[in-house]
Amino acid sequence: MKKVILITGASSGMGKETAKKLIHEGHIVYTVARRIDQMQDLLEMGGHPIKMDVTIEADIDSVIATILKEQGRIDVLWNNAGYGLYGSVEDVPLDQARNQFEVNVFGMAAMTQKVVPIMRKAKSGTIINTSSMGGKMYFPMGAWYHASKHAVEGLSDCLRLELKPFNIHVVVLEPGFIATEFGSVLLNQFENINKDSAYRNMMDKIIEGTKKSEQPGGSSDPKVISDAISKIVNSNKPKTRYKVGKFSKMMPWMRVYLGDAAFDSIVMSQM
């Protein structure tokens, strides 16, 4: 069945690769991101790219109005927009931390609030929220990113129960290491952190590990995400969670079953 799908954060990486697959499958795919120039290939494929910032309500209202005018419905919302903010809790300015939540949590919530009434009226729909394996475990220097993804997990669980009576599915996507721009963005952030930081040695270890994940074999191809999203979109009864990509199952398992002390020791042994 052809579905009307709205994807945020679709200018690169997981969002873009998945949009291509869904367009190829025959779905009507609206892709939104701030960098519309990077979505022209999706337009040429038959997609519907629109410039939008998830932190600007007027942008969201305009996109929703456009889709309803052109299609009359929204069957699937994939809240995929987000980024990782790294640095110690002591060093990261709070205005940057607030923006992390504005994009990763409140942007997702704003999109959801606009789309849910449409799905309720139709008595059907699927909302996919991108969390991370980092929403179930943690690394030092990633407190604000992990906090935002833990929030996505909690919000999604409550939302799932709230929307169950209306036949709206809420699915949490928990990627592991995926070959996207995430690593390069993280490395650029570290370049701007105070070289005299008390956490410099720890940051250097994180940088080293990130560079390894950027090498061939260090991360999973975004195709594993596009395959998972396709499965969710085309399912009448999707699972509540999809752990996809390198380390996505192993690391959260270690966090739960080894306990705090053992997991902390393993993580710090790499620092």
Which is catalytic among the residues 3, 86, 88, 131? 131
Question: Does some domain include residue 150?
Answer: yes
Task: List phi, psi (to 5°) of 265.
Answer: -65, -40
Question: Does some domain include residue 208?
Answer: no
Instruction: Please say if 131 is a catalytic residue.
Output: yes
Element (DSSP H or E) covering residue 125: strand 125-130
Question: Does some domain include residue 144?
Answer: yes
Instruction: Please say if 145 is a catalytic residue.
Output: yes
Question: Does some domain include residue 214?
Answer: no
Token digits of residue 33: 């991101």
Residue closest to 82 by CA, chosen among 26, 23, 129: 129
DSSP classification of residue 102: I
Residue 187 pLDDT: 62
Question: Does some domain include residue 229?
Answer: yes
pLDDT in tens, 54-69: 999 999 999 999 999 9
Instruction: Please say if 138 is a catalytic residue.
Output: no
Question: Does some domain include residue 192?
Answer: no
Instruction: Please say if 235 is a catalytic residue.
Output: no
Host domain of residue 103:
4-180+220-269
Question: Does some domain include residue 74?
Answer: yes
Q: Compute the distance between CA of residue 210 and CA of residue 187 in angstroms, rounded to an integer.
A: 8
User: How many domains does the chain contain in total?
Assistant: 1
pLDDT in tens, 175-226: 998 877 666 666 666 666 667 789 888 888 888 877 776 676 778 899 999 9
Residue 185 pLDDT: 64
- CATH code: domain of residue 25: 3.40.50.720
Question: Does some domain include residue 92?
Answer: yes
Length of the chain: 271
